[in-house]
Structure 1
Amino acid sequence: MDRCPPPCAGAVSWRYIGGRLATGLVAVWGAVTLVFFALNATGNPAILLVPPDAPPDEILRLTHLMGFDRPLPVQYWHFLTSVVTGTFPDSIRYGGDPLPIALEKIPASLALGLTGLLIGVLLGGVIGYVSATARSGWLSRVPLGIATGIESVPTFFIGIVLIIVFAVRLGWFPVTSTGDAASMVLPALTLAFAFIPAIARVFRTALLDVLQAEHIRTARAKGLPRHVLVWRHVVANSLGTTLNVVGIQAGVLLGGAVVTESVFGWPGIGQLSINAVQNRDYPLVIVCVLAIAVGFVLINLVVDIVAAVVEPRLRS
């Protein structure tokens, strides 16, 4: 029986998935390690957990209770053990296990992030396609130029403008988010503006490369219908590279939405992270960073697998 050569294999190998997963685990370890040493570099973390006017005895008591008086390597080993086993100190503000508190906020962040990413992919794809295929000069330049200009505007400013126009003056949407569909529109649009420019540029570049390929000229010479040529040969062969960029953008579905969630008061893990920092809730900060890092790895792993299925050349 003839064996199919690797380039035409439709399935993604376990070796490929394992390599991506191993890389993701290293990224998670790096993220939580960075947070650990950043908190310790500022001095005794126990000082962050007590009021500014707390007596020295209270600081010493909490330092010993949390183990911050141990040698740094011992603290780091205990910290990694807590991360692996999921046994974290109780939250300072909520007085319980911080892990369920963080996990409860993830669905809201995922709903907001996926909606914003979907809008960004659709609009960015349309802009990239029009810029690459339009015969009119202004159509090939103006939409992409506007998208690039929007990229230079801070996310919080876009959010504030949307609130003023569509929530305050027009009254179409609520000013603050409550977690329902109506209150998701403005923050999702704000996130989408962050996704659109990169997706549009990469998709446009990929389309232009494919349009100049030999097999496209051959398909045109054979007289293939335009819709078959565009969707089956041009767009399909441009998705692999674009999906890689989507994967990078998808990594912000949890952590990158911190600013947007803060502006709109969206009840997600980004807003919870800000509150944890403001409340000096050291255990909850660690859990939020861990949840965001793991979410980043899992989302990128899924996108990498999908991209490898669509474009087998990416597996190498």
Structure 2
Amino acid sequence: MTRYLLSKLFEAALAIWGVVTIVFFVSRVLGDPAVLLLPIGAVEQDLERLRAALGLDRPILEQYVISMLAMFRGDFGISFQHTRPALDVVLERMPATGLLAGTALVFGTLIGAAAGAIAALRRGTVAEFIVMTAALLGQATPVFWLGIMLILLFAVELGWLPTGGYGSLAYLILPGVTLSVFVSASIARLLRSSLLDIMREDYVRTARAKGLLPKTVFLWHIARNALIPVVTMIGIIAGELLGGSVVIETVFAWPGVGRVIMQAIQAQDFPVIQAGVALVAVIFVVVNLLVDLLYGVLDPRIRRH
């Protein structure tokens, strides 16, 4: 187990380094942040002084080495826009993103799991048709369009909920529901397919032939094995949501990580871009590591490989 964890941690560190490196070089070709930070009409001497102050006048490889060494110490530099540590700018948005992601993931998983189980156990019935049609529509509908439609209906027409922002529970309902629709639709379709595949396995027929109760067969022989691909899906979705759903956070003016990264890209705020992407990469790696460990709980045979 120790060797397994060490290998996963090494792969995680390598992945994070690769992502941050790519972002560093790509962000440098976006443009010159000094042009955006200074007033229109600034002379070349002012631009050169600002580039020197920001360290942008050095060779690109020198900037890269300095940036990497600082990142290893947890220092992503000072935000060009906010004149504060870039990591602080990103971390202060995490509670909002975590609240939105957690709400969407919990409700989406519960609804999707129930819908997928109903569709599998009621195969060939009207219930399966309704569930799968709804799931297909949920996956095919663009989240930004769904979010705008919900705003028009519940905020503009009915006036029940705010159009956007961050605050009380009322502000969470519309963005949470919008994200939950996609999550539940994805999980419902995958769980239904996985359950139907497991139901056709020989060991399930053997368990039924032994006279085990249908509830026992479903819980211990079908559902437990069918959850493995679903756990993978949940892990991927959780990483995406915790990394910040840029579209939803923009539509609903939600002050999350995705929105602050998008604003940093528009302003060419390199330190915030790198801090945000590094944080997202760490979240993805940690979530996937937890998913790998959970495989061994669901299927003990995986531990031996």
Q: Which moved more, 1:15-24 or 1:154-163?
A: 15-24
Aligned residues: 304
Task: Please tell me whether the aligned partners of residues 150 and 193 of structure 1 are also in contact (alpha carbons under 8 angstroms).
Answer: yes
Quick check: 1:195 aligned with 2:183? yes
Q: Which moved more, 1:301-310 or 1:153-162?
A: 301-310
Q: What is the RMSD computed on CA atoms of the aligned residues?
A: 2.1
Q: Measure how far apart 1:49 and its partner are.
A: 4.0
1:52-86, Cα deviation, whole Å (9 max, x unpaired)? 53321122112222222222221111121122112
Task: Please tell me whether the aligned partners of residues 240 and 314 of structure 1 are also in contact (alpha carbons under 8 angstroms).
Answer: no
State which of 204, 209, 231 in structure 1 corresponds to 2:197. 209
In structure 2, give the amino acid aligned to 1:104.
E
Q: Measure how far apart 1:130 and its partner are.
A: 1.9
2-side partners of 1:282 and 1:260: how far apart?
A: 23
Identity of aligned residues (%): 38
CA shift in 2, pair 1:243/1:33, >3 Å: same
Quick check: 1:159 aligned with 2:184? no
Quick check: 1:174 aligned with 2:162? yes
For 1:80, the equivalent position in structure 2 comes to 68
* Secondary structure, counterpart of 2:92 in structure 1: helix
For 2:43, the equivalent position in structure 1 comes to 55
Q: Please give the residue correspondences for 1:130-279 in structure 2 after superposition, counting only pairs within 5 Å.
A: 130-279=118-267
CA shift in 2, pair 1:267/1:149, >3 Å: same
CA shift in 2, pair 1:53/1:31, >3 Å: farther
CA shift in 2, pair 1:51/1:310, >3 Å: farther
Q: Measure how far apart 1:112 and its partner are.
A: 0.8
Q: Measure how far apart 1:25 and its partner are.
A: 2.1
In structure 2, give the amino acid aligned to 1:308.
G
In structure 1, give the amino acid aligned to 2:285.
V
Q: Measure how far apart 1:263 and its partner are.
A: 1.0
Quick check: 1:64 aligned with 2:48? no
In structure 1, give the amino acid aligned to 2:129.
R
In structure 2, give the amino acid aligned to 1:145.
T
Quick check: 1:27 aligned with 2:36? no
Q: Measure how far apart 1:131 and its partner are.
A: 2.1
Task: Please tell me whether the aligned partners of residues 33 and 267 of structure 2 are also in contact (alpha carbons under 8 angstroms).
Answer: no
For 2:111, the equivalent position in structure 1 comes to 123
For 2:286, the equivalent position in structure 1 comes to 298
Task: Please tell me whether the aligned partners of residues 20 and 278 of structure 2 are also in contact (alpha carbons under 8 angstroms).
Answer: yes
CA shift in 2, pair 1:135/1:71, >3 Å: closer
1:262-311, Cα deviation, whole Å (9 max, x unpaired)? 11111221222233334443322222222222222222222322233222
For 2:81, the equivalent position in structure 1 comes to 93
1:231-253, Cα deviation, whole Å (9 max, x unpaired)? 22211121122101111111112
For 2:101, the equivalent position in structure 1 comes to 113
In structure 2, give the amino acid aligned to 1:274.
M
Q: Measure how far apart 1:51 and its partner are.
A: 4.2
Task: Please tell me whether the aligned partners of residues 179 and 266 of structure 1 are also in contact (alpha carbons under 8 angstroms).
Answer: no
1-side partners of 2:28 and 2:216: how far apart?
A: 59
Detail structure 1 runs of 4+ shifted over 6 Å in the superposition: none
Task: Please tell me whether the aligned partners of residues 144 and 248 of structure 2 are also in contact (alpha carbons under 8 angstroms).
Answer: yes
CA shift in 2, pair 1:160/1:172, >3 Å: same
CA shift in 2, pair 1:81/1:51, >3 Å: farther
1-side partners of 2:20 and 2:231: how far apart?
A: 27
In structure 1, give the amino acid aligned to 2:62.
V
1:132-161, Cα deviation, whole Å (9 max, x unpaired)? 221443333332232122222221111111
Structure 2: runs of 5 or more not aligned: none
Task: Please tell me whether the aligned partners of residues 244 and 256 of structure 2 are also in contact (alpha carbons under 8 angstroms).
Answer: no
CA shift in 2, pair 1:26/1:50, >3 Å: farther
* Secondary structure, counterpart of 1:289 in structure 2: helix
In structure 2, give the amino acid aligned to 1:18.
L
Task: Please tell me whether the aligned partners of residues 31 and 268 of structure 2 are also in contact (alpha carbons under 8 angstroms).
Answer: no
CA shift in 2, pair 1:53/1:278, >3 Å: farther
Task: Please tell me whether the aligned partners of residues 102 and 272 of structure 1 are also in contact (alpha carbons under 8 angstroms).
Answer: yes
Q: Measure how far apart 1:115 and its partner are.
A: 1.1
